[in-house]
């Protein structure tokens, strides 16, 4: 979920000229199909694709996507003969959010189609329709697509029901799966030991803050004067986040009203629940326990345990100190219309905010935004003992791996026809290729870095990025992905049903309709009902399988 990291980046003219030269060379080399795969050529290729169209040179167009697709075709050519899939037709279902996702895939796959002779038909969906469309297709047996772009939370619905095709070994080699960041490796993407997913994206919430707030001498003085403990600094724990948020109420920064943390209060089709999750994981995810949302053996919800209720209460307590329209602010509003436009000083979000902070036209916080992993907590709830533990290592951190990113999956209905099966996997593997994905993480695509090899800061700097900024940004992502206590979302069927039901109850809590505990109990009751509706035994089984 990344956007326009590259836009408006300062880049001197000489680098740019070098870049264009490289592109023209690459174009020739690519079209001849004579790319060698020595380490050196590989590096060159990566440098070359990063120059299409060039950082700061405006949004890439269809022609650019096709060029990148063409240049990254080498891996396909080693596994597929020219014209091998002649006459094969495949249907690809994905999103076309903001004219990204599917539109890029079209460009990337065009040279693949030309080379292999296959033809791809496209189903574009709006994100709001995605879940409903997928579920209805599955339930009524109208699965009309061979390849699907899908988030990991839906794996339970698709892979758990045996609708996906198992990944052949040659694909694993072609896409170099070892390169994935820690949390995307198995068990994510696998069910019952079988691998299904080609990752094309990584997702987690990170903590974005305003450096100017925390360097403000007046605020620091006021902080001392009001008798707060410690220096006025970027909060490392949610306890501090709360304290700072309340402290900032009524203060001014640079002549404008100061605000602390921004909670998205309005529902977002289930996605809003991730933001409560980000507040709760540090309380609820104990290092000794993989589970944090449900009990593993019974699927008993933990959402009404003291850890979650504390997170909900935190929001209630913070709300009076947040901006006046917060009740109707969904995550899009808090991210793009508040934080980036200069309102508020702390925010949990996916990587988009970081990339937009520096590059988006609407952002006024480009030079004053810092990144870190989500705040921790001084104490963490132990669901086993029912006690709040203080860890010897200090505060408990548990980055929220919200949504686990997009992947490409092949549907089982192609398995009957070996040629079609190979074609579908080859197309999917092309999109999940190592080099192609570098380009996607550097340019507007809708996807974030998700491979170890994406975190080579040298490559980004050579491509034209500001070193200090990109280091801070990439580190916050890498540290979250590789965190040993990362809270990984349960990949069980119908997970968005749980989120959606929770949003309804939360909406009442925020509007003052019930207390944190009452509301949380209602959420738990609704969740129990959903679990029963879907089938408890099966859910428990799949939950265990997904945890690994």
Partner 1 sequence: MQKAHTVTSGQHIEISAPLISLARQRAGRGLIIAATLGLAVIILVQSLYAAGTITTGFANWRPVLYAYVLWAVALGAGQVMVRGEAGHRALFLLPALLFTIVMVIFPTFFGIYIAFTDWNLSAFDPPKLNGLDNLRTLVNDAYFWNALLNMVYYILGVLVQYTVAFGLALLLNADIRARKFFRVAFLLPFMLSPVAVSWMIGKSLMEFRFGPIATLMRHIGWESPAFFTTPWIARLSIIALDAWVWIPFIMILLLAGLQALPREVQEAAKVDGATPWQSFWQITFPLMLPVSVTAIILRIIFQLKLADIVINTTSGGPGGATDTVSSFVYREYRERSNVGYGTMIAEVYLILIIIFISLLLRFVSRWMQRENNT
Partner 2 sequence: MTQPSDGSQQFKYVGSRVLIYGALLLWAFVCLFPIYWTISTSFKTAVNVTQGDIIPWVGRFQPDWKGWRSLGLSPDTIGQISTVRDEFLLRFRNSVLVSVGAALLAVIIGSLAAYGLSRFQYRFGPWRNKDISFFFLSQLILPPVVLAMPFLVLYKELALLDSIIGLILIYTLTVLPIVIWIMRDQFDTIPNELEQAALVDGCTVWGAFFRIILPIALPGMVAAFILAVVLCWNEYFFAALLTSTNAKTLPVMVASQTGSQGISWWSMAALSTAAVMPLVLIGIFLERFIVKGLTAGAVK
Distance CA 214, CA 222 (A): 12
Q: Is 125 in the site for partner 1 (CB under 8 A)?
A: no
Number of residues that bind partner 2 (CB under 8 A): 47
Question: How much of the chain is in helix, strand and coil states, percent to nearest 5?
Answer: 50, 10, 40
Range in contact with partner 2 (rule: CB under 8 A) among 124-132, 156-164, 388-396, 485-493: 124-132
* Residue given tokens 């339970």 in the structure block: 156
By the 8 A CB rule, do 315 and 510 touch? yes
Strands (E), 32-189: 89-95, 119-125, 147-151
Q: 17 is in the binding site of which of partner 1, partner 2, none (Cβ under 5 to 8 A by kind)?
A: none
Q: 1 is in the binding site of which of partner 1, partner 2, none (Cβ under 5 to 8 A by kind)?
A: partner 2
Sign of the alpha-carbon torsion through 494, 500, 502, 505: negative
Phi and psi at residue 102, to the nearest 5°: -55, -35
123 preceded by cis ω (within 30°)?
A: no
**Residues 6+ away with beta carbon under 8 Å from 125:** 93, 94, 95, 96, 133
Specify the residue, 8 or 290, whose C-beta has the smaller distance to partner 2: 8
Binding mask 515-544 for partner 1 (x = CB under 8 A): ---------------x--xxx--x------
**Which residue in the set 174, 208, 326, 356 belongs to the binding site for partner 1 (CB under 8 A)?**
326
Question: Could you say which DSSP state residue 453 is in?
Answer: G
Question: Among 111, 125, 119, 196, which Cα is nearest to 425's?
Answer: 196
Q: Is 366 in the site for partner 2 (CB under 8 A)?
A: no
Helix (H) or strand (E) holding 114: helix 102-116
Sign of the alpha-carbon torsion through 365, 400, 433, 165: negative
Specify the residue, 191 or 350, whose C-beta has the smaller distance to partner 2: 350
Q: Is 352 in the site for partner 2 (CB under 8 A)?
A: yes
Segment 260 to 279, residues that bind partner 1, using CB under 8 A: 265-270
Range in contact with partner 1 (rule: CB under 8 A) among 58-66, 376-384, 418-426, 504-512: 504-512
Distance CA 309, CA 294 (A): 14
Segment 212 to 231, residues that bind partner 2, using CB under 8 A: none
Specify the residue, 42 or 127, whose C-beta has the smaller distance to partner 2: 127
DSSP string, 363-405: -S-GGGEEEESPPBBSSEEETTTTEEE--TTSSB---EE-S--
Tokens, residue 383: 């669901």
Binding mask 140-159 for partner 1 (x = CB under 8 A): ----------------xx--
Least distance CB 129 / partner 2 (angstroms): 5
Q: Centre a 10 Å sphere on the Cβ of residue 212 and count the other Cβ atoms it contains.
A: 17
Specify the residue, 394 or 512, whose C-beta has the smaller distance to partner 1: 512
Specify the residue, 113 or 541, whose C-beta has the smaller distance to partner 1: 541
Judged by the rule CB under 8 A, the positions of this chain that interact with partner 1 are: 129, 131-132, 135-136, 138-139, 156-157, 161, 265-270, 323-328, 330, 337-338, 341, 343, 493-494, 496-497, 500-501, 503-504, 507-508, 510-513, 530, 533-535, 538
Judged by the rule CB under 8 A, the positions of this chain that interact with partner 2 are: 1, 3, 59, 61-63, 91, 93, 95-100, 103, 106-107, 121-129, 132-133, 136, 140-142, 144-145, 271, 332, 335-337, 340-341, 350, 352, 360-362, 446
């Amino acid at each position: 979920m990344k956007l326009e990291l590259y836009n408006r980046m300062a880049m001197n003219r000489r680098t740019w000229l070098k870049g264009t030269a490289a592109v023209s060379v690459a174009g020739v080399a690519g079209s001849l199909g004579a790319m060698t795969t020595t380490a050196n050529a590989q590096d060159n290729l990566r440098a070359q694709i990063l120059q299409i169209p060039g950082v700061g040179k405006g949004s890439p167009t269809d022609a650019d996507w096709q060029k990148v697709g063409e240049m990254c075709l080498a891996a396909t050519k080693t596994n597929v003969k020219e014209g091998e899939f002649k006459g094969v037709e495949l249907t690809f279902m994905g999103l076309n959010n903001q004219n990204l996702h599917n539109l890029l895939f079209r460009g990337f796959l065009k040279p693949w189609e030309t080379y292999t002779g296959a033809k791809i038909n496209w189903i574009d969906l709006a994100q709001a329709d995605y879940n409903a469309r997928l579920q209805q297709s599955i339930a009524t047996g109208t699965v009309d697509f061979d390849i699907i772009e899908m988030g990991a939370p839906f794996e339970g619905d698709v892979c758990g029901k045996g609708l996906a095709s198992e990944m052949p070994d040659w694909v694993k080699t072609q896409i170099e799966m070892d390169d994935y960041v820690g949390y995307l490796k198995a068990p994510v993407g696998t069910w019952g030991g079988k691998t299904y997913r080609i990752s094309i994206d990584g997702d987690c919430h990170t903590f974005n803050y305003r450096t100017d707030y925390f360097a403000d001498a007046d605020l620091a003085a006021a902080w001392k004067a009001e008798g707060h403990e410690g220096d006025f600094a970027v909060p490392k724990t949610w306890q501090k986040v709360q304290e700072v948020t309340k402290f900032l109420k009524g203060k001014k920064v640079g002549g404008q009203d100061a605000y602390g943390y921004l909670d998205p209060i309005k529902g977002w089709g289930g996605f809003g629940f991730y933001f409560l999750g980000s507040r709760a994981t540090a309380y609820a995810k104990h290092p000794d326990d993989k589970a944090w949302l449900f009990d593993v053996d019974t699927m008993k919800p933990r959402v009404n345990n003291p850890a979650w209720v504390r997170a909900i209460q935190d929001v209630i307590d913070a709300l009076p100190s947040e901006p006046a329209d917060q009740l109707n602010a969904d995550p899009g509003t808090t991210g793009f219309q508040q934080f980036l436009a200069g309102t508020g000083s702390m925010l949990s979000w996916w990587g988009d905010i970081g990339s937009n902070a520096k590059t988006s036209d609407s952002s006024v916080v480009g030079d004053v935004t810092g990144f870190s992993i989500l705040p921790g907590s001084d104490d963490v709830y132990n669901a086993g003992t029912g006690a709040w533990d203080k860890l010897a290592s200090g505060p408990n951190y548990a980055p929220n791996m919200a949504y686990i990113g997009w992947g490409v999956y092949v549907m089982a209905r192609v398995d009957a026809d070996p040629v079609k099966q190979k074609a579908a996997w080859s197309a999917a593997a092309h999109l999940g290729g190592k080099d192609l994905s570098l380009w996607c993480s550097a340019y507007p695509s809708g996807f974030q870095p998700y491979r170890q090899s994406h975190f080579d800061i040298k490559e980004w700097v050579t491509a034209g990025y500001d070193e200090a900024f990109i280091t801070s940004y990439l580190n916050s992502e890498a540290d979250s992905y590789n965190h040993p206590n990362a809270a990984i979302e349960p990949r069980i069927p119908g997970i968005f049903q749980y989120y959606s039901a929770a949003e309804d109850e939360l909406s009442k809590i925020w509007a003052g309709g019930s207390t944190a505990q009452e509301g949380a109990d209602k959420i738990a009751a609704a969740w129990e009902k959903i679990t029963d509706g879907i089938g408890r035994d099966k859910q428990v089984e799949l939950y265990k399988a997904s945890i690994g």
